[in-house]
Amino acid sequence: MNLVLEIALTHVRFRLRQTVVGVLGVATGVGFSVMMASLMEGSQRDFIRQLVDALPHVSVTDERREPPPQPAAAVYQAVAVLGLSTDEKRKGISNPYATIAGLEGWVPGAVAPSVQTKAVARFGGRDTTATVIGIDPRREVKVSQLVTQMRDGTLDGLHKASNAVILGDGLARRIGIRVGNTVTLATADGRAFYAQVTGLFHSGVRQIDENQIYTLLRTAQVLAGRTALINEIRVRVDDAMQAREVAGRIEKLTGYKSVSWQEAHEDLLSAFQIRNAIMIMVVGAILLVASFGTYNIVSTITHEKARDIAIMKSLGFRESVVRRIFVLEAAVIGLGGCLAGFVLGYLLCRGLGLIEFRTGFSDRTGLPLIYEPAHYLLAGGVALASSVIAGYFPARKAARVHPVEIIRGAS
Amino acid sequence: MSVPLIEVRKASRILGGEVPTTLVADIDLVVAPGEFAAVIGPSGSGKSSLMYLLGLLDVPTSGEVLVDGRPTRALDEDARSALRLSHLGFVFQFHFLLPEFSARDNVLLPMRALGRLAPKAQEARADLLLAELGLKDHGWKRPDQLSGGQRQRVAIARALANEPAVLLADEPTGNLDTASSAQVLRLLREVAAGEGRAVVIVTHDPTIAAQADRTITIVDGRIVGDQARAAG
């Protein structure tokens, strides 16, 4: 075995109590860092997955980001436009099926038309405002998770009755309706339609489950008062993380506002960034505290070993060799702490996984944890590096010991 | 004439500070092969300081120390360490063995650091040295399992491990009983007698100095006497 390593290992082996304390310090840091990273990233991924699953990855609507220029502006250099009022009715996407066909040619995923309108759902004297989404069930299954979110009835049930609707289970609960009942859908202009509830869905996102109603395209078009209206194209991208790029390209090609799921939840994703920054700081602080422990232990060892250092130097050991011995000791403590920390982190995650934990946001009954090797590598790497750095300073001091001073004192 | 193993030319060592302290001054000294020299003087006279200069553990404020003909004052710490490792051996009043290592491992230490011999040869030499010093069956023992005399003999074996040209011993019998002292002194004499080495022993004990071939007397940091023992 290499001499430097042998001396370092001998030192840590003969100071077992100190070594164990140091290893436990680092292990605690690594273990809790792994647990925190697992929990934080697990919850973030779980949250994002629900968001991604609950909505189409890209929503192309009949709106435009910039209002179209006024015709007068094309003729005159200076135009002041005052008192404009917007159309009450949405115009819809022009030539929607041609647009869809065009998108299907290059979008890596699936595309489906839909109609969105608002209505008040009434049943048994109770009512609630709802978003009615007209869909083509054959296409919808390719762009959303609706088929897997069905709790009662099936998506095909929309074809089994005239004006059939599928309600979010939260909405159904709110107005006290069940499958087979007839709900009244009242539009903003005062018209009322009777629709039969053929199914209930549950996305896991309360806002959706309490507000959305699915129906066939033509039913929604009748409800909106415009036949052939398509005011939203729903896109599912094979790789959800590509949604932003795909949305940008669609918007550029069609001129219609295309919102990716990332854009729709920009505020939440920003919150995640802040959350991650906090997590990194907390984890960093934990590992820093652990490194102070290593510093303390290596300092103590170098102090106790001052005489040995002096004699090694008098024998002819170079400063760099002495320094390496104590840096290696810190590395051994760091490495031991990392390995023990990996076990501790894993066990903590397993333990947390057993805790029952419910939130209003999702149906999950336990804490969302993920087991990611990167967490272990990162926590271990940072702990090892901070241990080595923490060990370097006392090691450097030890290496600079003037042997004569120690030998005189000892003699 | 052969090159002196160590040559000191007008070397002084003065500690800085508000009131400078002269440890040794104007030292001129030559250590030749085969010598068994004793440096004597009262306590605080500069004996150990002189030995630290001879052993390159300290650097003269002025003057020069040549080891094997090489000036050392301008050398950096690493170069001095390398020279110490290959040319010089130390025995101190306290054994200074590494407590966690066995006697054999302590003897192996300088050889492993120098790396001049193959591992098998290092082990063979360690065993040989321990056997020569009467510690054949004690190689596996740690220092705390050895007597004072045995520890000091292990320290001598360690000092001899790299076959140094000069063995420097600072009060090597200071902590030993009479029998052990006699044994250690006999060993040091044998070292000086063999293979063209020299031994410089620092002591304040005139009876020990009387056994040396040469006595260098130092008082107040200056050499005031340098006498060879009369033959016979």
Q: What is the mean pLDDT of residues A84-113?
A: 84
Overall average pLDDT of the A13-37 stretch: 88
Determine the pLDDT at residue A363. 61
Would the CB atoms of B78 and A320 count as touching at under 8 Å?
A: yes
- Using CB atoms, pick whichever of A317, A403, A408 lies closest to residue B113: A317
- Tell whether B117 is within 8 A of chain A (Cβ): no
Q: Are residues A280 and A361 in the same domain?
A: yes
Per-residue pLDDT tens digits for B133-144 = 888 899 999 999
For residues A19 and A139, membership in a common domain is answered with no
Q: Looking at the partner chain, which of B52, B81, B112 has a beta carbon nearest the beta carbon of A313?
A: B81
The per-residue DSSP string of A211-266 comes to: TEEEEEHHHHHHHHT-TT---EEEEEESSGGGHHHHHHHHHHHH-S-EEEHHHHTH
- Residue A90: predicted pLDDT: 66
Residue A411 binned pLDDT confidence (cut-offs 50, 70, 90): low
pLDDT in tens, A282-319: 888 888 887 887 788 878 888 888 888 888 888 889 98
Instruction: Please give the pLDDT value at position A359.
Output: 63
The whole-angstrom distance between residue A363's C-alpha and the CA centroid of its chain comes to 17
Most confident of the ranges A42-51, A111-120, B127-136: A111-120
Mark whether A366 and A338 lie in a shared domain.
yes
Residues A224 and A178 in one domain: yes
pLDDT reading at B191 higher than 80: no
Mean pLDDT of A26-41: 90
> Which residue from B159, B214, B224, B193 is spatially nearest to B30, judged by alpha carbons?
B214
Residue A368 pLDDT: 84
- Report A:299-358 residues touching B (Cβ under 8 A): 307-308, 310-321
The per-residue pLDDT for B64 is 93
Same domain, A251 and A125: yes
CA distance B59 to B81: 12
> How is chain B split into domains, by residue range?
6-228
Q: Are B103 and B146 in contact (CB under 8 A)?
A: yes
Going by pLDDT thresholds of 50, 70 and 90, the confidence category of residue A355 is confident
Residue B30's nearest CA partner among B224, B221, B216, B174 is B216
How confident is the model at residue B228, as a pLDDT? 83
Question: Are residue A248 and residue A285 in the same domain, yes or no?
Answer: no
ipTM of this complex: 0.86
CATH for B6-228 is 3.40.50.300
Best mutation target, A315, A320, A321, to test chain B (most B CBs within 10 A): A315
Q: Tell me, yes or no, whether A204 and A346 share the same domain.
A: no
Average pLDDT, chain A: 86
Higher-pLDDT residue of B175, B211: B211
Tell me: pLDDT of B231 over 60: no
Q: Which residues contact A66 (CB under 8 A, 6 or more apart)?
A: none
User: Cβ(B204)–Cβ(B215) under 8 Å?
Assistant: no
Say if residues A50 and A204 touch (Cβ distance below 8 Å).
Answer: yes
Q: Is A285 within a domain?
A: yes
**Is the CB of B197 inside 8 Å of chain A's CB atoms?**
no
Mark which of A202, A230, A256 sits at the end of a domain: A256
Judged against a pLDDT cut of 90, whether residue A340 lies above it is answered with yes
Domain encompassing residue A356 = 3-51+268-410
- What does the pLDDT read at residue B72? 92
User: pLDDT tens-digit profile of B108-142?
Assistant: 999 999 999 999 999 999 999 999 888 889 999 99
Given a cut of 90, whether residue B209 has pLDDT beyond it is no
Q: Which of A83-92, A327-336, B60-69, B138-147 has the lowest mean pLDDT?
A: A83-92
Tell me the count of A-B CB pairs closer than 8 A.
71
**Of A316 and A51, more confident:** A316
Domain edge (last residue) among A221, A256, A291: A256
User: Please, which pLDDT band fits residue B103 given cuts at 50, 70 and 90?
Assistant: very high
User: CA nearest B77 in A: which residue?
Assistant: A318
Predicted confidence at residue A110, as pLDDT, reads: 92
Average pLDDT over residues A125-152: 90
Closest CA to B61 of A401, A408, B53, B43: B53
| B82 in reach of chain A (CB within 8 A) | yes
Structure tokens given for A262: 């990332």
Chain A contact present for B15, CB below 8 A: no
Does A95 share its domain with A230? yes
Evaluate if residue A361 carries a pLDDT over 80. Answer: no
Q: Number of H helices and number of E strands within chain A? A: 16, 10
Interface check for A190 against chain B (CB to CB < 8 A): the answer is no
Any A CB within 8 A of B99 CB: yes
**Span A114-120, mean pLDDT?**
92
Chain A hits for B77, CB-CB cut-off 8 Å, are: 318-319
pLDDT recorded at residue A358: 67
Residue A59 domain-assigned (yes or no): no
Tally of domains within chain A: 2
Q: Is the pLDDT of residue B229 over 80?
A: no
The alpha-carbon gap from A297 to the nearest alpha carbon of chain B, in Å, equals 18
CB A113 within 8 A of CB A96: yes
Percent of the residues in chain A that have a pLDDT greater than 90, as a whole number: 31
The pLDDT of B103-109, averaged and rounded, is: 94
Give residue B133's pLDDT: 84
Q: What tokens appear for B232 in the block?
A: 């016979």
Residues of B in contact with A409 (CB under 8 A): none
Tell me the one-letter amino acid at B13.
R
Nearest to A69 by CA among A53, A54, A49, A84: A84
Residues of A in contact with B109 (CB under 8 A): 3, 312, 315
**In a shared domain, residues A92 and A143:** yes
Q: How far apart are CA A56 and CA A60, in angstroms?
A: 10
Q: Report yes or no on A284 lying in a domain.
A: yes
pLDDT tens-place string over residues B8-45: 999 999 988 888 889 999 999 999 988 899 999 988 88
For B152-174, what is the mean pLDDT? 88
Q: Find the CB nearest B85 among A307, A308, A315.
A: A315
Q: Specify whether the CB–CB gap between A220 and A90 falls below 8 A.
A: no
Average pLDDT rounded to a whole number, residues A132-142: 91
CB A238, CB A219: distance < 8 Å: no
A273 and A221 within one domain = no
The pLDDT tens digits of the residues spanning A207-237 come to 889 999 999 999 999 988 888 889 899 999 9
Inter-chain contact B81–A316, Cβ cutoff 8 Å? yes
Confidence of residue A259 (pLDDT cuts 50, 70, 90): very high
Last residue of a domain, one of A201, A228, A256: A256
- Nearest-CB residue to A316 (from B52, B85, B94): B85
Mark whether A122 and A247 lie in a shared domain. yes
SS3 A285: helix
Indicate if A387 and A285 belong to the same structural domain: yes
Query: Which residues from chain B sit within 8 angstroms of residue A14, using beta carbons?
Result: 100
Q: Do the beta carbons of residue B165 and residue B128 sit within 8 Å? A: no
